[in-house]
């Protein structure tokens, strides 16, 4: 794929975004390709080094704030057909409570999962603290001449250390998974606004 094809397809995929944002991104990637060509790459290599079109679009969508998309969609200066305004007002008692309920459900689920991650993390801290206490107890047993008891508590402490490590790793995995899911959810919501923008441009 050459530079012109890449920029044309990228512009088509971003057509629902604010015009100034699209122009800025196209200008940036055009300069990026030119810079890499000046560094010795061929045009095709420079375009390929940027990444796939899907990856580039996803990165751009991630960078543009949702508030910016919402502001453009709800801009009162934009021409809106009368029948759309009437339809929105008539269906307001239906979709507004549903939207609020959906938002509350999603928010509660998100809070619950993040609370679970925090709980796992503090459980790990608690187990690690018990393990450290067990080591001090073991030292006390050894000093008092009770080697068997000391070895027993050392074994318990090592088991607890291993368990705390597992819980910490689980907490990190859950946090990363939730962060990924949050980013994907935000990207999906943004895509809804972009899709709405594209449909508006077609019907105008």
For residue 84, what are the contacts with CB-CB under 8 A and spacing of at least 6? Answer: none
Domain annotation covers residue 58: yes
pLDDT, one tens digit per residue, over 105-141 is 878 887 888 888 889 889 999 999 998 998 888 888 8
Closest CA to 61 of 194, 179, 197, 176: 194
Closest CA to 25 of 50, 42, 7: 7
| Shared-domain flag, residues 58 and 135 | no
E-assigned strand segments in the chain = none
Distance of CA 31 to the CA centre of its chain: 28
- For residue 5, pLDDT over 80 is answered with yes
The least confident of 86-100, 106-120, 180-194 is 180-194
pLDDT at 191: 63
| Shared-domain flag, residues 86 and 59 | no
| Shared-domain flag, residues 88 and 181 | yes
Count of domains forming the chain:
2
The domain in which residue 52 lies consists of 3-64
pLDDT, one tens digit per residue, over 37-78 is 888 888 888 888 888 887 887 777 777 665 555 555 444 444
Domain annotation covers residue 199: yes
| Shared-domain flag, residues 35 and 92 | no
């Amino acid at each position: 794929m050459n530079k012109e094809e890449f920029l044309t397809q990228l512009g088509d995929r971003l057509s629902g975004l604010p015009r100034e944002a699209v122009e800025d991104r196209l200008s940036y990637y055009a300069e990026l390709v030119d810079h890499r060509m000046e560094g010795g790459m061929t045009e095709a290599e420079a375009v390929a080094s940027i990444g796939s079109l899907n990856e580039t679009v996803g990165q751009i969508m991630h960078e543009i704030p949702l508030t910016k998309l919402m502001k453009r969609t709800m801009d009162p200066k934009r021409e809106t057909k009368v029948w759309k305004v009437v339809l929105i007002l008539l269906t307001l008692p239906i979709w507004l409570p549903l939207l609020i309920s959906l938002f509350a459900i999603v928010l509660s689920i998100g809070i619950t999962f993040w609370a679970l991650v925090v709980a796992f993390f503090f459980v790990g801290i608690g187990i690690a603290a018990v393990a450290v206490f067990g080591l001090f107890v073991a030292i006390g047993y050894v000093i008092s001449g009770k080697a068997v008891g000391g070895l027993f508590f050392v074994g318990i402490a090592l088991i607890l250390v291993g368990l705390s490590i597992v819980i910490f790793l689980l907490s990190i995995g859950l946090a990363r998974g939730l962060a990924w899911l949050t980013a994907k959810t935000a990207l999906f919501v943004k895509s809804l606004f972009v899709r709405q923008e594209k449909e508006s441009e077609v019907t105008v």
